[in-house]
Structure 1
Amino acid sequence: MGSVLSFGILMFAAQTPRTYFTTNPAFLRLKKGRQVTNIRAFVESSCPSLFDKFRPAWWLTGGHLQTLYAVLGDFSKVDQVVYDRTGAHYFTPPASERSLDDETPIVVVLHGLSGGSHESYVRAILAPAISLVNEGGLGYRAVVVNFRGCAGVPLTSPQLYSAGYTDDIRQAVWYISHLYPKAPLLGVGFSLGANLLARYLAQEGENSRLVAGCVLGCPWNLVKNSEALESGWLSRHVYSRAMASNLKRLIQRHVSAIAQFPGSSLGQQTPKVLSVKSMTLVDFDNAITRVAGGSSPPFPFPSAWDYYKWASSDQLLGKVRVPLLSINADDDPIINEVPVDAADNGWVVMVMTRGGGHLGWFEVQGSAHYPRRWVSKPVIEWLKACGENLYADNEKAVPFRDADGWLVGAGNEHLGCREAGSGGKVEGAETEEGMLAGL
């Protein structure tokens, strides 16, 4: 009886993702013979997994279970990745283990709210992306951009990161482009990092140095999604407080560094935040992120809600001018509002799966004894198609120059980046003690 019930649940839950194209899809230039194709034909021919059924593991059929498994599951033995650390940038595969051509595509990854290069959802994409072609991988290079204070990155100023501040990403892209000027760069963002990637692509428009992007579990409208997160008892007391708890732990780890800036907003707010036993994500953002989540202007904001309004990526979606694939789950307990109409932007393809939770998408594949992330398949197909087939017009990218050892971009002379020195190898599965993963 149990096996019949399991089969019934599996068949009921299996659904083909809904893929949304606009009525006027953008036309893409391909490398081969400079051919032109529209983005719908490009996706339909390159990403067959998007048009196959997603079958959640029978014991992970709801969004809450999918999300909790992403947080509590043991992923230390799967999708193992080793990085070369250079400041906040984690490169893989390590240079000592493999030599790659300078034109090899590079996957540039932005992690979630309080995560980093160690997260299982990051490694689920990078492991097949960097694996050798004869082993079923893409053979690509990848770089995870760890946010300020995350994954061992030190705080050297009284500024954190946020869902809207894109200058750190902009500088990271300059740096990677400087190291590998011939390589096509492909952006992948998760949750908060997805929102950042969408904003970056919109701000850069046709001048983007990333030739394509993919966003997973993007929150899009931070106002509406935060309202939904705070209004439900379970979402407020479980998810919102869990995310705030992670951020408090992150602040706690950098107390000594923050103490070096006692007159800053971050320095003044930190003791207050750490004295509160329990807070929601909005509470944390109202105390810390709205004042220290980026440079001035536009920070500080009058309230967390003003910050959410400014940082929402859906309002900029119409300005994206490179191929962008977005995948969300319809039962994500953290993300409720998804702009499936894509602001009528022909460069954007929106996908909604039936089930999957927040950055979960777990299904049992073949003879595997543990669930794997379904989303890895379409993302890898997308990266392969974009990295190997798209023609990149680098002449449109905003140029940068050397200014006394700093890379400075045209129109952004107030920004600069330079080599931070090697930090050795890092095992990708080394988690942050005391932090809940997967968020």
Structure 2
Amino acid sequence: MPLEESPFRPAWWLPGPHAQTLWPHFFRRPPRVATTPERLELDDGDFIDLAHGPGPAGAPRVLLLHGLEGSLDSQYARGMMATLARYGLRSVFMHWRGCSGEPNRLARSYHSGATDDIARVAAHLRDTEPATPLAAIGWSLGGNALLKWLGETGAASPLTAAAAISAPFRLERAAARMGRGFSRLYQWRLVADLRASLEAKRRLRGLDLPRPPRGGFRAFDDAVTAPLHGFRDANDYYARASSRPWLDRIAVPTRILHARDDPFMDPGAIPQARELAPAVILELAHRGGHVGFVEGALPGRAGYYAERRIPAWLAGELSGKTPPARR
């Protein structure tokens, strides 16, 4: 079935979407995971920083794609890496341009539909280990970009399986939702982070970059994201970068985990069963917040459902599989 009711049960002490969303950011202590850095130089003169996680030599690899202004320090990153290693899988964490602690070299950065960078990193990983199966997991913005790329590539995808957590699906609805109620606090923080990153790059690189007006996501995307990445305006960006129109073209096994109460978007953004390709399973939870999915009887014994569910599913999908043939 393309739509699946999730067995996730939220921690009783985190009853609402905002508690589920915020608790991991403020109170979680992710496990320590040793990583090996790699800088991938790009043909356009820019770079992407990767972090290779632990795991058995020759084991399948899982590319990890973080959310807006995230990094290896995001609360979910090392937890997922540690769990993947326990399942015998190796992780490769990809920082979007400018998110690894050093501003990228070009005026362009990253955005919700930046599938070109995913393709470049995936090709690099396949080139270095052509006989090793490759999967991917994306959170939020990273999940949207991953789903869009899977739809663009269809049966030609180099991935064996993929998963997306709390992907926005329709960017215009997400931008509108973030401008209402308590969600405006998330918008304020994320836009402030985007502005700070833009200013840091302006100072370090000496680039002539747009100066965003005051306002939320739409104002920032209209003034900065769209012109820097070849879109006419925010509306054009939202329409062309959203993943929902691509879901029926995905050809590799893909699991999407999403909560109906996600405060970063409204329920109308959630796709219908008829919009999903046969290879896609949309697991819907009634609650869970945005990239939350916190479970457990006590705060000191919190668990993270996504990190329990997704690696187990991926391990089953990758078991005994060989990479797709090169095209």
Q: TM-score, normalized by length of structure 2?
A: 0.90
Contact kept in structure 2, 1:212 and 1:324, CA below 8 Å = yes
1:421-432 paired onto structure 2 within 5 Å: none
Q: 1:106 Cα shift? A: 0.2
Q: 1:150 Cα shift? A: 0.2
**Within the alignment, does 1:376 sit opposite 2:307 as a pair?**
yes
Matched residue, 1:329: 259
- Of the three residues 161, 186, 197, the one matched with 1:239 is 186
1:299-320: CA deviation from partner (whole Å, max 9, x where unpaired)? 0x22212100110111111111
Q: 1:153 Cα shift? A: 4.2
1:298-354: CA deviation from partner (whole Å, max 9, x where unpaired)? x0x222121001101111111111011000011110022111415141011001112
Q: 1:225 Cα shift? A: 2.3
Cα distance in structure 2, aligned partners of 1:139 and 1:386:
13
SS at match of 1:198: helix
- Of the three residues 82, 98, 109, the one matched with 1:127 is 82
| Aligned amino acid, residue 141 of structure 1 | R
| Aligned amino acid, residue 54 of structure 1 | F
| Aligned amino acid, residue 201 of structure 1 | L
1:5-404 paired onto structure 2 within 5 Å: 20-21=1-2, 53-75=7-29, 78-87=30-39, 88-93=49-54, 100-102=56-58, 104-130=59-85, 137-230=86-179, 232-235=180-183, 237-259=184-206, 261-262=207-208, 267=209, 269=210, 272-273=211-212, 279-292=215-228, 294=229, 299=230, 301-336=231-266, 337-341=269-273, 343-364=275-296, 369-392=300-323, 394-395=324-325, 397-398=326-327
Q: 1:234 Cα shift? A: 2.4
Cα distance in structure 2, aligned partners of 1:289 and 1:319:
26
Cα distance in structure 2, aligned partners of 1:117 and 1:52:
27
RMSD: 2.0
SS at match of 1:170: helix
Q: 1:361 Cα shift? A: 0.7
Contact kept in structure 2, 1:164 and 1:195, CA below 8 Å = yes
- How many residues are aligned here? 316
SS at match of 1:126: helix
Contact kept in structure 1, 2:72 and 2:78, CA below 8 Å = yes
| Aligned amino acid, residue 176 of structure 1 | L
SS at match of 1:326: strand
Contact kept in structure 2, 1:340 and 1:350, CA below 8 Å = no
Q: 1:391 Cα shift? A: 4.9
Q: 1:184 Cα shift? A: 0.4
1:66-103: CA deviation from partner (whole Å, max 9, x where unpaired)? 1121332242xx3222211111111112xxxx7x433x
- CA change 1:186–1:254 in 2 (3 A) is same
Matched residue, 1:10: none
Contact kept in structure 1, 2:6 and 2:285, CA below 8 Å = no
Contact kept in structure 2, 1:164 and 1:311, CA below 8 Å = yes
Contact kept in structure 2, 1:63 and 1:333, CA below 8 Å = yes
Structure 2: stretches of 5+ with no match in the other structure: 40-48
Contact kept in structure 2, 1:106 and 1:141, CA below 8 Å = yes
Contact kept in structure 1, 2:147 and 2:247, CA below 8 Å = yes
- CA change 1:128–1:354 in 2 (3 A) is same
Structure 1: stretches of 5+ with no match in the other structure: 1-19, 23-49, 131-136, 399-439
Cα distance in structure 1, aligned partners of 2:274 and 2:155:
17
Contact kept in structure 1, 2:5 and 2:284, CA below 8 Å = no
Q: 1:52 Cα shift? A: 7.2
Cα distance in structure 1, aligned partners of 2:247 and 2:276:
9
- CA change 1:139–1:391 in 2 (3 A) is closer
Q: 1:375 Cα shift? A: 1.6
SS at match of 2:35: strand
- CA change 1:191–1:385 in 2 (3 A) is same
1:244-278: CA deviation from partner (whole Å, max 9, x where unpaired)? 1121122233222442x33xxxx2x1xx33xx6x5
SS at match of 1:128: helix
Cα distance in structure 2, aligned partners of 1:121 and 1:51:
23
Contact kept in structure 1, 2:103 and 2:197, CA below 8 Å = no
Please identify the structure whose Cα radius of gyration is greater. 1
